[in-house]
Amino acid sequence: MLEKTGLAALAPWLEDTFVDLVAAHEVPGATLAVLAEGRLVTATGGVTSLRTDVEVDADTVFQIGSITKIWTTTLVMQLVDDGLLDLDEPLLDHLPELVIGDMDAAKVLTTRHLLTHTAGFEGDIFTDTGRGDDALERYVATLAELPQLFAPGETFSYNNTAFVVLGRLVEVLRGKPFDEVLLERIAQPLGLSSVSPSPYEAILHRAATGHVADEDGAMTAAPAWALARSNAPAGSMLAMTASDLLGFVRMHLEGGAGPDGTTVLSAGSVKAMQTRQVDLPVLSGMGDAWGLGWELFDTDQGVVIAHDGGTIGQAAFLRVVPEQGVAIALLTNGGDFFGLFNDVVARLLRELTGVVLPERPTPPAAPQQVDTTAFLGRYADTIYEIRVSQDAEGRLWLDRDPKDVLAEIGEKPLRFELVHLSGDSFITAEAHHGIHVVFAFIGRDAAGRAQHVHYGRVVSRAD
């Protein structure tokens, strides 16, 4: 293990350099919180919006995106603690209203499948069902034709839809809207005053606005602040300060106890959430395994639990080393956020804990030439149209065109050259936002053609 540095020694470095690093990576604004040795240190830099030039401070709220899934999982595990739910019982026992495209699959679905992203149905349905308290109920009612890509439990495929269903499960068993349950059962007992489950609460604070690249590549304010309320349990709009995010994490580090000793979550449920449930294939930017809600990274120094999040022009990162009581949260609103993560979060984690995060996959120096015939064709889901082709020189290309809500918020088409990584996995020759994306082709039909492309989400062949 590397020699560690104490938080007291690192705090001056943060104070002196964080603002400069935010600017160097062209991130409009960012906030950082570090929990170590029982102490909390924060740093801020940049502005909440390039339109207003209001400076980010420690009280600025940012959206945490899919880190919300850890909050949703916590609410589900509270149901287990209260004897209202068994993770391995049929989901339909508690949510008979759920009707999806494959009802045979629905009959074997469990809450555990949803929590571990192994439900098998398409996972990026962003239907806007309005701003009312019935948004989740109405969303679930739209899933009657939801495609089943593989049998429940067969493989991992990141699934936002599943977490909306979990949010509805929380509403049914608690008898209240998801937002109210989140505030009453997590934010209020932990004293987290900045937690904002919707824009209506966020507007009461200094709030960061997301930024996206315009036609010339320059950062500009995003066209909307949040995604639809119907996707709130998956991470469409929850916002807070970095300090309050770590206030939530501190509860998980202290066996589920709040600051006054009140039990918010049982120690058994805290442990269960961090326990390995499903292993992942080699993917870009994702962990080696998943627990219940938590993403797990294997390192030579032990397991790091984590989750990242992204909304419209905002990106959030959370890394936690439970055995050492260390947690780091970085919240940003655009720019080269991966570069800032590498220069700040990865360094702090290494110096505070000795933990070195695994390197993201990169292309081989001399990629092997393989027959790609089985992978060529068209793949599609609700949010992307994907075409895999080979040019006259034998190079493999993947074109990805956004659809639905992603097109509406301005995401641009991308074209990747792919080179062979291993087996049926390929990797982008060039980095995108600092990451080489891995695409794995899985499943074969009778003719030997790949049936799905997997980049964290499974997308089915459509030609």
Positions annotated as catalytic residues are 66
Backbone angles phi, psi at 23, to 5 degrees: -65, -40
**CA dihedral for 169, 173, 179, 182, sign (positive or negative):** negative
**CA dihedral for 160, 313, 195, 133, sign (positive or negative):** negative
Under 8 Å between Cβ of 331 and 208: yes
What residue has token string 């060529």?
A: 376
Backbone angles phi, psi at 265, to 5 degrees: -145, 140
Structure tokens at 85: 């739910």
Short-list 353, 250, 343, 251, CA closest to 297: 353
CA pair distance 443, 420, nearest whole angstrom:
18
Under 8 Å between Cβ of 98 and 164: no
| Single-letter code of the amino acid located at 389 | S
**Helix and strand counts by DSSP (H, E) for the chain:** 14, 20
CA pair distance 229, 237, nearest whole angstrom:
7
Cβ atoms within 10 Å of 345's Cβ, excluding its own: 20
Report the largest interatomic distance among the alpha carbons of the chain, rounded to a whole angstrom: 67
**Angle 326-327-333 (CA atoms, 0-180°, nearest 5)?**
155
In this structure, the dihedral spanned by the alpha carbons of residues 396, 375, 372 and 423, taken in order and rounded to 10 degrees, is 110
